[in-house]
């Protein structure tokens, strides 16, 4: 008689939880997945996928404007927000079905219920208990709202995907990628947008040249960037909302969006009661193999607050299955993970920033190219692309590649392979570029910029 009901119980059916459960079930493990909200987690429902669809919608505004420079005559464009949201919702529903079929097709059992740990091998869902030899916590993260007067008027990125009407005025608090991306989305769809951030510049952790270049481009699009400020209070007014800022100023707006970060979604699921250690942010503390302080309980994805990206959670899931169900201990490799900000224009990056490289190495060469994309010689748009390489002078190895400009994420994805393989600047230089493209600049930059004093 089996000692436990399941070999694996997974809490959360997001990208990481689904991948781990599918892989384990395909190896013959008996798997149950508990999910109380929606299959696919944040990425599918209120993250990567719907956000990118809204980004595409917002980018059409500039495409319509640019078309005139190429001889096109168009009528007055307008956005039907409800149609956009309805079409988006239909695609998300389709993906929910895909995730269900993938899980069930692998043999995993889906239990659509809140579940909490009773002990290291037991979860409680409703009035039923289920046991497993191994438990995987993959509960993701959740948007955070600051505790300020009037916080009940704040929306988060989750809410933004379900607004009944497109607001005419939007104030966004925050300086991370979510804040920057939604500023571009709402502005592209026609709203007046103000972004308020406590720092001197947004996107902390990205290369400083990219941060500055993107700020310039966003201001060209009439996005009001208010740095070194915070939103202190929100009040309802006859015409909408008033957000009072830390500098004494105020904003009259229709929507105030909190994009000030996300917290690990770990409360109320019995982790501490089962002996699982959490850090000060509520993230599950794990070792390099994603094992928690309780030997049979593992955690992956945003609830561990390591590197909160969907492809990373999926990679952590594969490593977990290798470790637990294949007997092949596999730590995650977090070096040279590419990432993007789907701003307007896009930002893509992989490897070390210039500041990180100079902090770690004695000799660093930086190559930088800034230019007007060929498209805009006819469109007339005042937009500059920025491309940058960071190189270890001693080994000639390319340590970082960064870009602000159209299709930056698509371009950086390819360069990420080169960096993962240890490519040198000489190898970049010996690669023939595709002309005319922006990407060719990465293999035609010959002279490093002067080092800072």
- Residues acting as catalytic residues: 435
The total of other beta-carbon atoms located within 10 Å of residue 142's CB is 18
Please state whether 69 falls in left (phi above 0), alpha (psi between -120 and 50) or beta. Answer: alpha
């Amino acid at each position: 008689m089996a000692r436990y009901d399941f070999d694996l119980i997974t809490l959360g059916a997001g990208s990481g939880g689904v991948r781990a459960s599918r892989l384990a079930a395909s190896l013959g493990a008996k798997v149950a997945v508990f999910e109380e909200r929606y299959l696919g987690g944040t990425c599918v429902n209120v993250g990567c996928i719907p956000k990118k669809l809204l980004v595409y919608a917002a980018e059409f505004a500039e495409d319509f404007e640019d078309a005139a420079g190429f001889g096109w005559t168009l009528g007055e464009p307008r956005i039907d927000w409800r149609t956009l949201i309805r079409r988006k919702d239909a695609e998300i529903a389709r993906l929910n079905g895909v995730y269900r079929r993938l899980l069930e097709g692998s043999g995993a059992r889906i239990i659509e219920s809140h579940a909490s740990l009773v002990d290291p091998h037991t979860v409680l869902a409703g009035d039923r208990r289920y046991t497993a030899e191994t438990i995987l916590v993959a509960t993701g993260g959740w948007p955070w709202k600051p505790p300020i007067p009037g916080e009940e008027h704040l929306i988060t990125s989750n809410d933004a995907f379900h607004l009944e009407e497109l607001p005419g005025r939007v104030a966004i608090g925050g300086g991370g990628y979510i804040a920057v991306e939604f500023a571009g989305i709402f502005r592209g769809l026609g709203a007046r947008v103000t972004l308020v951030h406590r720092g001197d510049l947004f996107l902390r952790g990205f290369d400083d040249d990219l941060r500055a270049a993107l700020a310039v481009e966003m201001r060209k699009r009439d996005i009001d960037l208010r740095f070194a400020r915070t939103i202190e209070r929100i009040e309802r007014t006859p015409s909408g909302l008033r957000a009072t800022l830390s500098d004494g100023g105020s904003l009259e707006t229709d929507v105030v969006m909190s994009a000030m970060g996300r917290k690990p979604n770990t409360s109320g699921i019995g982790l501490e009661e089962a002996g699982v250690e959490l850090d000060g942010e509520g993230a599950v503390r794990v070792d390099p193999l994603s094992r928690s302080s309780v030997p049979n309980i593992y955690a992956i994805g945003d609830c561990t607050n390591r590197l909160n990206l969907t492809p990373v959670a999926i990679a952590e899931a594969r490593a977990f299955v290798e470790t637990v169900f294949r007997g092949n201990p596999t730590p995650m490799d977090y070096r040279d993970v590419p990432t993007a900000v789907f701003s307007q224009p896009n930002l893509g990056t992989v490897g070390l920033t210039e500041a990180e490289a100079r902090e770690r190495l004695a000799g660093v060469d930086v190559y930088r190219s800034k230019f007007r994309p060929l498209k805009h010689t006819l469109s007339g748009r005042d937009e500059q692309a920025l491309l940058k390489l960071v190189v270890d002078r001693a080994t000639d190895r390319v340590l970082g590649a960064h870009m602000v400009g159209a299709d930056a994420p698509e371009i950086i994805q390819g360069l990420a392979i080169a960096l993962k393989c240890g490519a040198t600047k000489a190898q970049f230089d010996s690669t023939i570029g595709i002309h005319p493209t922006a990407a060719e600049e990465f293999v035609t930059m010959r002279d490093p910029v002067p080092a800072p004093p």
